[in-house]
Structures are given as structure tokens and as C-alpha cells.
Chains A and B, each alone.
Chain A
Amino acid sequence: MQDPGTTAADRYLLVRSGEERLALPTAKVVRIVDGMEVHPLRGGAAVFVGLARFSGEPLGVVEASGRPVRPGPAVRRTVVVVRHRDRLLGITVDAVERLAASGEDLDGWPIPDMDRLAKAGGGDDGA
């Protein structure tokens, strides 16, 4: 599940969401926002958490672990804002660990399918 827009020499941001551990390419990371208020929105994909405000613009937020999201009240989460195919996408994580250096072994830290996440977050599928 390698993002075609990245290479092995890229650096990655290691995050955790529940039991899931992920490596997000730093080239796609725009900002890490702690305590971002996410407003739930019904009718979206299963991993779609809701909408948030980033730089004055609405931002679709998805669950990084891929787990189905239960509807509920607005919550404050740590959100990693990424840019994928020129669109911003919020990915909720439980903790941001560190930046992985180039050439570091990322065994156990898979790179998520950004297209699928982007599609769930309401963005273009990039096709």
C-alpha cells in the first residue's frame, strides 16, 4: 500500500490511532493541530469523522485507523492535516510519536492508502 507520490527516501511522521500505527509521509503533512474541534457529520463514509475549520476553510476529517466512526457530539482531537492531490484532508490520531529519519526501517509502521482516505474525506479520488 505504497503511496505512489512518495519514495523510500522520504521522511515519515509516525502516528498512532488506537492499536493502529501509521507512517505518514512528511511531504504530505501540512500541519499537526492539537485539540482541533471536529464536528460530526452524518451521511459520510464509515471512517469520516466530520468537518473542522483549518485556516478559515472547512476541512474533512477521517479516522486514521480505518475503524468505523460512531456519530456523537463535537470533539477535540489531534488532527494531522495532509495535502493529497492538492486537497487538504484531516486525519485524526491519538498520538504523534516522532519523525522517522530517512532510511529508517519502518517495519510495523505501514503507510496508509491516502487515496482511500481522501475519498472517505469527501475529496477527489484522484483518478
Chain B
Amino acid sequence: MEHEGGNGGRPVGDRRMEPCHLGVWLWAAAALVGGALMAVGFDARTPLWVIMGVPVLALGGLALYVVSVYIPERRLVRRLREKVEAYESSCTDLQEALDALRRGDLVAARECEERLGQPFRQAMALAIRSLEGMVREIQKDSVEVAAVASNVHGTVSALASGSSQEAAAVIEITATMEELARSAAQIASGASGQAERAVRAQEAGEEGARAVEEAVEGVESVRERMDGIASRTEALDRRSREIFGVLGLINDIARETHILGLNAAIEASTAGEHGQRFNVVAQEVQRLADRSRESVEAIRTLLGDFASSLQETVQAAEEGRVAAGRVLDKARAAAASIAELRTALEHTATAAREISFSTQEQRTASDQAVATLREIREVAQRTAASLQEFTGAADRLDRLGLSIQLATQSFRIESDRSLKHLLMGWSEQLTGFSGHGEVVEGILRDLVEGNTFIEFAYLVDPGGSMVASVGNGTVEGGEAPVASVGSGRVFADRPWFQAVMREGGSVVTPPYRSLATGQECFTVAVPVRGEGGRLEGVLGVDVNVAGWTGI
């Protein structure tokens, strides 16, 4: 924006002074010409004082004019010129100040403001102070906005994640409740069937109890009969023993008869011829005795067999009686068990009916819970979707906070939060060293090590070639800065370089994704000036957004 009063002040003064000087000279010329004409036109009669009076008057008028008009005017013009020069200087300073303001360099604007005259100086000071205060306020607020936005973003992300997890959990719970409802239905069905089976088992138990009672009665009857058999068998045993006694008697008789027969035969043999017929009788007696003994032996054998059988019968009857007693005991125990079983089955049937009823109620409750959970799931899903949108809004708010912060960084103010101001201070350390890459690398290393938010710091010469660069190893995940001197890389096509070269002031780029770290960063670049404001290079710094906003 060209200032209109740049070179136009002096012609204006000259234009205003030229009529004055012309009037003086015209007045002097008129006086002289008038005097000459009067000298020529007047005759002798004309008095000399008349003739001389005209030039004198002219000269007097001229002198009066010079004294009263010309000299004051010249004084006025000189003062006016001084004023104009001061005005022009002020305009220049004002232009520079406004230019600094346009660049956002409030520090330079303040330096220009100090050279301004009143009332511009006061107005400019007020404007700069007001603007600086506003920038500081916005900067502070933007930091808070960024922090709040970051917190909101984190909170909303956590809420969205939690809500999504909640929705997933609700889905799982719904599935579980549905499974529970199905299980409850199966249990109800099973319990109902169990109740029916328990009733049938109870009926079967009653039939079994009756059968066992009949079995007990039968076993008791068997035992009584076994007792009768045992008693009768004992009677038989006694009789058989009596028979044995009789057989013994018969045997004795037979033996005596046998001996009698032998004695008779012996007597007959001693009787000679007369004893022959007696001997026949004796032999018959002896034969009868022998047959009796044989019969007795046969009966004794048979009776022994009978006695053995009878003994076995007695023993079997006893064993049967004992077994019948045991069977009776077991049958009675079985009857008691069946009675308990019937009671248990009755309880089982009652419990199964209660389980069936309870599980049906549980199924109803589960169905209601499933319906409620489905509603909750829909609400949770809607909440998750809303929070997802809210996450986008928080993200935009975060971006907005960052944009505001970057916008405030476009101003240079005397503050440690002003990157341009920091870089301008750092650039002064580099003044005169642009040709010494190692020195520049050392200065940049100190800068990087002292400011963790810097990803890269570099100095580029006016031709756009890299003089030196230092990367922050901490930001990159390393431990030490990574330095490079005279790599020969060309940055002439970079927008920040072109902007600094074009504007002559500092620039702040929009945020972008760092190739080194993959994180968001932006570049701040300032000119490095030497003696007489000569441009020696451009100092650039890649600022990590998270690291910068975290300070």
C-alpha cells in the first residue's frame, strides 16, 4: 500500500511558496517600472519628490512587504517544511509500523511506534497494546481451548469406546439372557416331565409297596410252613431214632437166634445120626437169623439214608427258615424303603411342579429382561453413534483450538509463548554464522535440546540450500539429536521459504503430518539478518503440535 505523501510533500510546499515570491518580485518590478514611467512621464514640473516618491513608495512598500509578508512567510514555509518532513518521517514510520502489524510482528511495530510522533505514537501504542493484549488473551484462551478440546476429545473418545463396549456387553448379555430364557424353558419343560414321571413313579411305588406287602405275607407264610416242616421233620427224626432202637433190638434177637442156631447145629453135629434132622432145623433157624440180620441191615441202611435225608431236610428247612427270615427282613426293609421312596417321590413331584412353575416365571422374567436389554442395546447403540458424532465435533473443536493457536502464532509478541519472537531471538544468535555449518549445527543442537517441542531445526541460505539441520531424537523415538551439516538439500520450493523471502518477515504454516514422526506439526520460519538488515538465511523450526500444546 503506497503512502500518498511519500514524495509529494515538497512540491506541495513549493506550489504554495511560488505565488509569494512572484508577488514580491512583481511588486518590486511594479515599483521600479512605475517609478521609471513616472520619471519618464512626468515633466520638469513634476516635483522631484513626486518623481522620487513613487520608487520610494514602491521600495517602501516592497520593504514593508518583505518585512511583513515575505520574511514571515519564509519562516512559515521553513516550519512548514520541517513539519512536512516530520510528517513524512512519521508516515514512513507509520507505514513500517502498519507493515509490521500486517505481518503480525508487534515487536517490530512497537519499535516503529517509538519513532512515531504524536498523536500517531500514542494511537499506535494504544493499538499495539490493545492488539498485543488481545493476542495474548486469545493465545491463552486458545491454549485452554486446545487443552479443553483435547480433554473433551479424550473423554468423548473414552465415552464412545465405553459406550461401544457397553453396547457390545449389552448384546452379549442379551444373548446370554436369551440363552437363559431358552434354558429356563427347557428346564420348565424338563421339570414338568419330571413331575409327571415322579407321579408315575409314585403310582409305581404304591404298586410296588403293595407287591412287597404281599411278598412279605407270602414269605411269612413260607417261614411258618418251614417251621411246620422243621417240627415235623424233627418228629420224623425222633421216630427214626426209635426205629433204630427197635432195629437194634431185632438185631440182638437175630444175633441171639443166630447163636442159638449155631449152638443147635453144634449140638446136632454131636448127636450123630440122630442129630441130622435137628441139624436141618438148626440150619433153618440160622438161615432165618441170617435173613433177619440182613433185613435189619437193609432196613438200617435204608433208615440211615432216610435219616440222612431227614437230617438234610431238617438242615434245609432250618436254612430255608433262616433265609425266609432274611428275605422277610429284607422285604420289610424294602417295604420301608419303598415307603420312603414314595414320600421322596411325592416331594420330588411337588418340587418338580414348583421348579416348573418357577422356571416358567423365570422364563417370563427373562423374556421381559431380554426385551428391556434390547431397548438398552438400541439406546446404547444410539448413544455410541451420538458419541461418535460428538467425537467428530470434539475433533473439530480440537482442530479449531489448534487453528486459533496457530492464528495467534502468526503474531509476534514479547512472550515465551510467541514462537516468532523465540525464533527471532534465536535467529540473532545465528547472525554472521550462516557460512559456518558446524557453528550453526551447534547452535541448532542447543535449541533442540532446550526445547523438546522442536522436531527439526534448520538454517537455509538465501538460495534455498540447507546449511545445517538438527532433528530431535527424543521426538523421533531416539535418545540424541540427529544432526546434518551441508547436506545440500534444496528448500527453495518450500512455501515457508518462499514466504519469508517474499515478505521479509516470519511465517507460520498450517499444521501437517510429519514424515519423521507421523504426528501433527507446523513450521515456523524467520529471516536471519546480518549487518544493515542483509538477509543471511532463513531459520526454520518444525514444531510438534502435541509437544507445543503440552507446554
Contacts and interface: CB of A to CB of B under 8 A. Distances in A.
Interface in A1-52: 11, 13, 26-27, 29-34
Nearest to B265: A99
A78 interface: yes
Interface string B216-260: 000000000000000000000000000000000000000110110
A96 interface: yes
Contact of A34 (B259, B266, B269): B259
A98 B262 CA distance: 7
Interface residues of B, number: 11
A29 B256 contact: no
Given A11-B269, A27-B270, A34 B262 contact: no
A13 B262 contact: yes
B255 A34 contact: yes
Report which residue of A30, A78, A98, A99 has the largest number of chain B beta carbons within 10 angstroms of its beta carbon. A99
A34 B265 contact: no
A27 B275 CA distance: 14
B248 to A, nearest CB: 14
B259 A32 contact: yes
B259 A78 contact: yes
Q: Is the interface of A mostly helix, strand, loop or mixed?
A: strand
A13 B266 contact: yes
B272 to A, nearest CB: 12
B266 A26 contact: yes
Per DSSP, are chain B's interface residues mostly helix, strand or loop, or mixed?
helix
B263 interface: yes
Interface string B124-139: 0000000000000000
Given A11-B269, A26-B269, A27-B270, A99 B262 contact: yes
Contacts of A13: 262, 266
A30 B256 CA distance: 16
Contacts of B266: 13, 26, 29-32, 99
A33 B266 CA distance: 13
A65 B237 CA distance: 39
Nearest to B256: A34
Contacts of A11: 269
A109 to B, nearest CB: 15
Contacts of A78: 259
15 contacts: A13-B266, A26-B269, A26-B270, A27-B269, A30-B266, A32-B259, A32-B262, A32-B263, A33-B259, A34-B256, A34-B259, A98-B262, A99-B265, A99-B266, A99-B269
Interface of B: 255-256, 258-259, 262-263, 265-266, 269-270, 286
10 cross-chain pairs, A with B, having the tightest CB-CB distances, nearest first: A32-B259, A34-B259, A29-B266, A32-B263, A26-B266, A26-B269, A32-B262, A99-B265, A31-B263, A34-B256
